[in-house]
Amino acid sequence: MSKRILSIDKILYEIFTESPGRDFRLSELRAEYSERSTERELPANKELFWQIYMQIEALKMLNLIRKEERSSGVGTLLLEQQFWDYSFNIVEGLLPERARH
């Protein structure tokens, strides 16, 4: 039986792989994604941010990322070792395209 390959947005993948700390907060991911994107309406587009959240949930379901609660009460997302071994289908503009539909 073949394994389904997860499609991931190119900018989001770059953020994950370029970050030296390998830990993220969802609000920081959203801000960084908006900063890197060429889409002009991103900061106001709540649907796009919902797509980022859903992408994170898909990664969590595959045990590629986990959420850890810090003592401050803030949830932090951490990349698992399996993330680096996973063969993603990296798609440019995936999240903005999904947000338009």
Instruction: Count the alpha carbons within 13 Å of 47 in the hemisphere toward its beta carbon.
Output: 9
The pLDDT assigned to 59 comes to: 95
Q: What is the pTM of this model?
A: 0.82
Please answer whether residues 89 and 7 qualify as being in contact, where contact means their C-beta atoms are separated by less than 8 angstroms.
yes
Handedness of CA 98, 90, 29, 23 (dihedral sign): positive
CA distances from 41 to 51, 85, 89 (A): 15, 34, 25
The pLDDT assigned to 31 comes to: 84
For the segment 47-56, the average pLDDT, to the nearest whole number, is 86
More confident residue, 41 or 55: 55
Residue 22 has pLDDT above 60, yes or no: yes
Residue 1 CA to residue 98 CA, distance in Å, equals: 28
Residue 24 has pLDDT above 90, yes or no: no
| Among 17-21, 41-45, 47-51, 88-92, the least confident range | 41-45
**7-100: CATH number:** 1.10.10
